[in-house]
């Protein structure tokens, strides 16, 4: 299964190595930003939520510009500087000592991250063919989470809220990890250049974001993504961590182990899920993702109810929530970028991927700002009800997308693999 999931081109394989290396650093810090800002640096819950929400707002504002620059100048010219800026910003988090400095540093991090996701997806899409793209995006996500899991296990054994230096160390290491994909991309001078303009599937692509927004199926996909990420991914750093520590009353180390369980699920299940999804409806898979995410949050809510009676069961509930969530991610990770790039044209591929990444920017604003107050109300029950309901609504939106797609776009009919180049005919020597 691993051999089948690997991309054909060696350049794409090296890009995947960069994903793995940078993800290790990301895993060191992923679950701890809210705890770091509040329990270590002394910010209030509301201010910490605003700082994280500000990051999402800046990323959201800059993402459209990043997509335009990618289409105009090529992804490599945008992604490499952004990786360097991201490294500088992430390392600077170790020096945060006030609300003002936290806002300043998170602004720098947001500038760097605004075009990385869309740029890397554009590069990976340009190095893969339609028939392999879904598998490669799934493998990319598995490697991403493998790295995050390794980093999470490492930081879980290191961090201690009573020792601020442990948090400073992981942010410096995270900064170093962002240099790895930059170096790999610099070693591939022909990768990430501006894509050749031309019609795709008989369609012409002129204009900018207005053309993208006129794409009705893509608009519906964006609506689905906004609902799902606001009630799913955007809750991991704030909602999940805060609910686990404050309501379920587990330690930050349990949160780290829960994210490790998430990674184990993804690494073990991703390749199998990719194989089983071939020839199946992508919109059906997206609908299942919403139901799986809702189940995960219900399990976490149950852990909060039984937390006072059994600390062990409560901890197991937190870990189980993260693992179930991970299974949903194995369904989402191959489908969302593959469907985005199936709808995109080469001329506007950067903008399509930028708008897809903007989904996370918008949810990154809404999720952190609302999670704190919702968790503080009625012992977190309102928060649980909100995220569960939102995930189920996302499932309904996914099902409404199917009539807007062709069978090939929906994955029910496989894309035709590229034809092999004809063999050269032997040239006869003159008599």
201 pLDDT more than 60: no
37 pLDDT more than 80: yes
203 pLDDT more than 70: no
Residue (of 348, 331, 366) closest to 118 by Cα position = 348
264 pLDDT more than 90: no
CA distance 326 to 382: 23
3-state secondary structure of 200: strand
219 pLDDT more than 90: yes
364 pLDDT more than 70: yes
428 pLDDT more than 70: no
105 pLDDT more than 80: yes
Sign of CA dihedral 273, 134, 360, 100: positive
What is the rounded average pLDDT for all residues in the chain? Answer: 85
328 pLDDT more than 80: yes
Query: What is the pLDDT confidence band of residue 202, given thresholds at 50, 70 and 90?
Result: very low
CA quadruple 330, 184, 30, 82: dihedral, nearest 10 = -110
Percent of the chain with pLDDT over 90: 39
CA 169 and chain centroid, separation: 24
The pTM of this model reads: 0.78
CA distance 46 to 235: 15
Query: What is the pLDDT confidence band of residue 199, given thresholds at 50, 70 and 90?
Result: very low
Among 35-39, 226-230, 264-268, 417-421, name the most confident range. Answer: 226-230
Query: What is the pLDDT confidence band of residue 421, given thresholds at 50, 70 and 90?
Result: very low
150 pLDDT more than 60: yes
| Segment 78-96 mean pLDDT | 93
Query: What is the pLDDT confidence band of residue 190, given thresholds at 50, 70 and 90?
Result: confident
309 and 409 Cβ atoms separated by less than 8 Å: no
Q: Where are the domains of the chain?
A: 2-189+209-404
CA distance 69 to 62: 11
3-state secondary structure of 353: helix
Query: What is the pLDDT confidence band of residue 398, given thresholds at 50, 70 and 90?
Result: very high
Gyration radius of the chain over CA positions? 22
CA distance 150 to 319: 16
pLDDT of 204 reads 43
Residue 200 pairs with which residues in a beta bridge?
Answer: 203
User: Which backbone phi and psi does 248 adopt, to 5 degrees?
Assistant: -75, -25
pLDDT of 381 reads 86
Outline where 30-74 has alpha helix (H).
Answer: 33-35, 45-73
Domain 2-189+209-404: assigned CATH number: 1.20.1250.20
140 pLDDT more than 70: yes
């Amino acid at each position: 299964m691993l051999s089948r999931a690997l991309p054909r081109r060696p350049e794409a394989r090296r890009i995947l190595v960069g994903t793995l290396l940078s993800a290790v650093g990301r895993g060191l810090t992923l679950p701890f930003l809210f705890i770091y800002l509040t329990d270590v640096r002394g910010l209030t819950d509301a201010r910490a939520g605003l700082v994280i929400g500000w990051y999402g707002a800046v990323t959201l504002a800059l993402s459209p510009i990043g997509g335009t620059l990618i289409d105009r100048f090529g992804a490599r010219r945008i992604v490499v500087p952004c990786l360097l800026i991201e490294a500088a910003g992430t390392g600077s988090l170790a020096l945060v000592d006030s609300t003002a400095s936290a806002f300043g540093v998170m602004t720098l991090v947001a500038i760097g991250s605004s075009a990385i996701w869309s740029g890397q997806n554009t590069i990976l899409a340009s190095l893969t063919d339609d028939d392999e793209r879904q598998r490669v995006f799934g493998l990319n996500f598995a490697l991403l989470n493998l790295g995050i899991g390794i980093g999470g296990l490492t930081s879980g054994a290191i961090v201690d809220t009573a020792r601020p230096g442990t948090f400073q160390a992981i942010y410096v290491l995270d900064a170093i990890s962002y240099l790895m994909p930059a170096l790999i991309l610099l070693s591939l001078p022909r990768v990430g250049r501006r894509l050749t303009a031309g019609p795709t599937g008989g369609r012409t692509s002129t204009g900018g974001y207005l053309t993208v927004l006129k794409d009705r199926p893509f608009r519906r996909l964006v609506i689905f993504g906004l609902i799902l990420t606001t009630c799913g991914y955007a809750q991991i750093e704030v909602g999940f961590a805060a609910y686990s520590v404050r309501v379920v009353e587990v330690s930050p180390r349990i949160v780290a182990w829960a994210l490790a369980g998430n990674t184990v699920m993804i690494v073990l299940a991703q390749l199998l899920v990719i194989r089983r999804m071939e020839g199946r409806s992508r919109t059906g898979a997206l609908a299942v993702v919403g139901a799986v995410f809702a189940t995960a949050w219900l399990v976490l809510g149950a852990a909060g109810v039984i937390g006072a009676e059994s600390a062990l069961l409560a901890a197991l509930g937190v870990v189980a929530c993260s693992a179930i969530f991970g299974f949903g991610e194995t369904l989402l990770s191959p489908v969302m970028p593959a469907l985005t790039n199936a709808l995109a044209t080469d001329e506007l591929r950067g903008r399509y991927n930028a708008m897809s990444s903007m989904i996370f920017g918008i949810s990154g604003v809404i999720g952190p700002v609302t999670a704190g107050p919702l968790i503080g109300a009625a012992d977190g029950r309102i928060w649980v009800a909100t995220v569960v309901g939102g995930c189920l609504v996302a499932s309904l939106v996914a099902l409404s997308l199917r009539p807007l797609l062709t069978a090939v776009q929906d994955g029910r009919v496989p894309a035709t693999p590229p034809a092999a180049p004809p063999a050269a005919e032997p040239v006869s020597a003159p008599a």
